[in-house]
Amino acid sequence: MANVKIPDSVLVGPEGTKLKAWGSSKELSAVGKPRPKIGAQEKVTGSAIYAYDVQLPRMLYAAVLSSDRAHARIAALDTRKAEALPGVRAVLTYKNIEPVKWEQEGNILRDTVGYVGEPVAAVAAETEEIAYDAIHLIAVKYDPLPSVIEPLDAMKPGAPQLQKAGNVWQGKPVIYKRGDVEKGLKEADIVYEQTYTTSVQHHTTMELHGCVVQWDRDGLTVWDSAQGVNQVRDQLASRFNLPVNKVRVICKYVGGGFGSKNSAKHYHGLAALLSKRTGRPVKLFNTREDEFPVSRHRPKTIQTLKAGVKKDGTLVALYHKAIGQCGPYLDGAALGARATGDGTKSLYLCPNLMTEAYSVHTNTPLLAPTRGPGDTENLFALEQFIDELAEKVGINPLEFRKKNYAEVDQPHDNHHYSSKGLDRCYDMAAKAFGWGQKAKASAPHKKRGIGMSSLIWHGNRTEKSQAGVIIQPDGTAEVVAGIASLGVGAETIFTQIAAEELGMKMESVGIRWGDSSSTPYTINTSSGSRTTAIAGPAVRAAAADARHKLLKAAARLLGIKPTEIATLSIKDGVISTGDQSKKISVAEVARKQGRELIIGTGHRPPNPEDMAIEIFGAQFVEVEVDEQIGEVKVLRAVTAIDCGRWINPLLAESQIQGGFIQGMGMALSEERIMDSRNGIQLNANLHEYGMPTSLDVPDTNLALDPEVIDASNNINAKGLGEPPLVGAGAAIANAIYNATDIRVRDYPITPNRIVQALKERSSGTRQG
């Protein structure tokens, strides 16, 4: 790995000291090494406790009655039968609920509904069965209001207007430009334009969304299935006007989030209000059917790209217009305007560029970030479009990408990157994949194809973070972090960072997390591939503080002057002078500390101001397409990701493999099928929705580490949760084209669409 200069500002240590810049993983003892994921065994053996497992004494069960209308006013609402059902303890509707603002504009329950699935009433009862029986006894009479489901319909004149500013979110598109696209197109030898669509992707977490809430004099305690403990806590405190120290969110294990469990949702609010009303704990979990409308999703998009290219392949102009579908309310709507993301703006050198993104209000459920939001939709379109451009100028897609490589971050004042290993990713992944080679298909009607995609994910983090490291009386260490365990492996990585800094063995370092109470504000929520890069440096700072205090205590015991503690170092839990003449174990120092534990705390130093930070990668796939039935089998995948330092190769591989599979699901099968007349989802169940199963995953799913040391923080990491998904779909689409000469530009590329396209081609109604 090239020598990287880490700025002093990110290596600030305790009491004016400076942290050591870490070299390559080979020079380290805990960081860069595989450590099995903390909690993995608990999960597979069933001992991990999830929010759904929480049973409290006197706990009630809640159920929610949701709207089956896309847009309506509630003309009549009769809850008397439900209230009279034995075992029912509370029925909340807009008529009797206290005014608390929630996701939609206005109160948490209102006299109008804006999408199918919007809550209308909530019941708390002695059993789950009674609660569900009760919601069926609530009589609702709706007065229909004009509705619109499809974003293109919503943009037409005369469409029902869902927001004051119109159906386009904020009344206008989000525009970015540099140079002059029109001028660029005129200078180009070839101008090409194409349109792509992507479908709604649901998070489809294994663990349903929900929580157990207890609201008593001690405040609000929430056992949650959340991606973080602090954001939900802060939102609940703010919405209920409670002091922060009276709201506690507990979440140790999460059965998947992917962006849908970042924030306080309807179910949090309704469960809390039911608990407040009844004075008893309340458990409220979605059913699987509820999940589809209630747990939100990635927007569907319609994207048009237009580019001007020189004959030699130089990109001179790029225009990208994207229309995203959002729900009727402002909450989450910004996500509909993110498909013109980092890829279009930053991935290729292009002097004349403009993007125009519309998020369009419709009477459909609300959006939430969905693993790689924006950039995933962006690259699905862009990276197919790039392949098409390459073909137009007759250049190998990889060469085309390399030719237009951007050394600096064009949208951010052309700043140099804190690191950019995309070239390394291209080369090592292409080599490992055997780019250009294509094996023979297994049957004449089966066609093989190879394809690739670049990927980018925004790595610039400005948030603060804080962590703690406690040295226990027996010399073992405990990282204390205000995070939940989304499954991204942060807990494991933090122990490695702390072990490295402390000079202790990995197995001597544990971690406590999953509770907003008594922990520092380590991260608001694990999203945006931020946890390692945001919180990791704070953990290192906290460990450095603990180390400093350990060395001061050791110096006292060894008779070394406080000014000379820099001569001490720690290795494998033993503190010694450089000449080994004096030594003492961490355990002995800790034992002598007794009950006055060493508590290290640390903050994340801010990023250097003059650096752009982005995550890059390259993905290569080989597919086999059965032209008879349109089925696509992904045979193998190779992904190389420059996410900065790989703190734990085992977990990095796992993230890359999992992310690729989720991207594959989006590319090939996952789709929300909605009746555009009434806004009712027709496949709101796991069977028909079409998630990949273990039978669909490629036999080879290789993850490669380009060994990049990033300069933006003290652990040299940028983030890895989302990137592996971002480029997967386009690589698969490009491989399908390579196999069949068919480009299906509407995702997902289902067997139906392939068969249809093949038919159109053979009947002459389709080209390419």
Could you list the active site residues?
722
| Residue 732 touching a copy of itself (CB under 8 A) | no
Site for a copy of itself in 204-233 (CB under 8 A): 214, 216-219
Rounded CA-CA distance 718/615 in Å is 6
Q: Which stretch binds a copy of itself (CB under 8 A): 109-117, 323-331, 395-403, 468-476?
A: 468-476
Q: Which stretch binds a copy of itself (CB under 8 A): 92-100, 106-114, 466-474, 573-581?
A: 466-474
Helix, strand or coil for residue 515? strand
Helix, strand or coil for residue 206? coil
Q: For residues 56 and 408, which CB has a smaller minimum distance to a copy of itself in the complex?
A: 56
For the CB of residue 709, give the shortest distance to a copy of itself in the complex, in Å.
Answer: 26
Q: Which stretch binds a copy of itself (CB under 8 A): 389-397, 474-482, 634-642, 708-716?
A: 474-482
Collect all residues with Cβ–Cβ distance below 8 Å to 421 and sequence separation of at least 6: 616, 642, 706, 707, 708
CB 299, CB 325: distance < 8 Å: yes
H or E stretch covering 720: none
H or E stretch covering 618: strand 614-626
> According to CB under 8 A, which one of 237, 249, 565, 575 is a site residue for a copy of itself?
237
Q: Which stretch binds a copy of itself (CB under 8 A): 169-177, 378-386, 391-399, 457-465?
A: 457-465
Site for a copy of itself in 520-559 (CB under 8 A): 520-521, 524
Q: For residues 454 and 508, which CB has a smaller minimum distance to a copy of itself in the complex?
A: 508
Residue for token pair 């073909």: 391
Is there a cis peptide before residue 86, judged by omega within 30 degrees of 0?
no
DSSP 639-664: EEEE-BS-S-HHHHHHHHHHHHHHHH
Question: Rounded to whole angstroms, what are the CA distances from 752 to 182, 194, 629, 668?
Answer: 38, 22, 8, 11
CA quadruple 505, 7, 411, 396: dihedral positive or negative?
A: negative
> According to CB under 8 A, which one of 7, 468, 663, 706 is a site residue for a copy of itself?
468
Q: 301-309 and 297-298: which strand pairing?
A: unpaired
* Closest by CA position to 557, among listed 542, 570, 575: 575
Question: Rounded to whole angstroms, what are the CA distances from 665 to 55, 129, 662, 747?
Answer: 35, 34, 5, 10
> According to CB under 8 A, which one of 147, 519, 532, 654 is a site residue for a copy of itself?
519
Q: 466-471 and 88-92: which strand pairing?
A: unpaired
Site for a copy of itself in 652-671 (CB under 8 A): none
Residues 93-132: x where in contact with a copy of itself by CB under 8 A, - otherwise, as a string:
----------------------------------------
> According to CB under 8 A, which one of 190, 597, 673, 680 is a site residue for a copy of itself?
597
For the CB of residue 515, give the shortest distance to a copy of itself in the complex, in Å.
Answer: 7
DSSP 124-144: EESSHHHHHHHHHT-EEEEEE
Q: 190-198 and 112-113: which strand pairing?
A: unpaired
Q: 210-216 and 415-416: which strand pairing?
A: unpaired
| Residue 27 touching a copy of itself (CB under 8 A) | no
DSSP 719: -
| Residue 58 touching a copy of itself (CB under 8 A) | yes
Q: For residues 368 and 523, which CB has a smaller minimum distance to a copy of itself in the complex?
A: 523
Residues 254-293: x where in contact with a copy of itself by CB under 8 A, - otherwise, as a string:
-------------------------xxx------------
> According to CB under 8 A, which one of 9, 18, 20, 41 is a site residue for a copy of itself?
41
Residues at the contact surface with a copy of itself, assessed by CB under 8 A: 38-39, 41-42, 45-47, 49, 53, 55-58, 214, 216-219, 234, 237, 243-246, 248, 279-281, 463-466, 468, 470, 472-474, 476-478, 480, 508-510, 512, 515, 517-521, 524, 594-597, 599, 601, 603
